[in-house]
């Protein structure tokens, strides 16, 4: 059984078009033989391909199904891939999705994913002080990381 997302409006096609081409049939099945697997350890073409797969999942499934209206108290950035924290959090969420909702998952996998992964990640990302603070529905704003002193 495969997830039918054809009816979901494609809200991120310009982003998908600008990334390396990814076959949508295999978008939810990254190459697990490659290391490293977590996106923050990747670079170059591996990072671009993984980000492309993540964009497909976030923009075609996560946002249309799970993201509620954008407000000042629950912001969302349409250019979320420009926020490293968001990429890291969403990649982890996507990895958990694959493990807990796939054909080999336990019957309680989807409920566990909602409770243990989806809610905490969306609460963190959409917090008014989170990575999207200052972003508007139609405007991205870079956040400055805290200043770090080196000895």
Q: Which residue has the tokens 């054809």?
A: 6
Backbone angles phi, psi at 117, to 5 degrees: -120, -55
- pLDDT tens, residue by residue, 8-30: 334 344 444 555 455 555 454 55
pLDDT (tens digit, 9 = 90+) per residue, 84-101?
999 999 999 999 999 999
User: How far, in Å, CA of 95 to CA of 40, rounded?
Assistant: 13
Per-residue pLDDT, averaged over 76-80, amounts to: 95
Return the domain boundaries, the chain: 13-125
pTM for the whole thing?
0.76
Q: How many whole angstroms separate alpha carbon 118 and alpha carbon 49?
A: 23
In this predicted structure, the answer to whether residue 31 has a pLDDT above a threshold of 60 is: no
- Total number of residues shown for the chain: 151
pLDDT at residue 133, rounded to an integer: 93
């Amino acid at each position: 059984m495969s997830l039918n997302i054809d009816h979901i409006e494609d809200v991120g096609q310009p982003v998908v078009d600008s990334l390396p081409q990814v076959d949508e049939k295999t978008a939810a099945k990254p190459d697990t033989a490659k290391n490293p697997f977590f996106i923050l350890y990747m670079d170059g073409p591996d990072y671009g391909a993984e980000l492309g797969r993540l964009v497909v999942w976030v923009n075609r499934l996560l946002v249309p199904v799970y993201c509620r209206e954008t407000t000042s108290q629950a912001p969302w950035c349409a250019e979320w891939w420009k926020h490293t924290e968001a990429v890291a959090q969403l990649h982890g969420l996507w990895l958990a999705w694959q493990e807990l909702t796939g054909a080999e998952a336990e019957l309680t996998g989807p409920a566990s994913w909602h409770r243990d992964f989806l809610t905490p990640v969306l609460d963190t990302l959409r917090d008014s002080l989170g990575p999207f603070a200052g972003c508007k529905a139609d405007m991205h704003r870079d956040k400055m990381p805290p200043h770090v002193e080196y000895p």
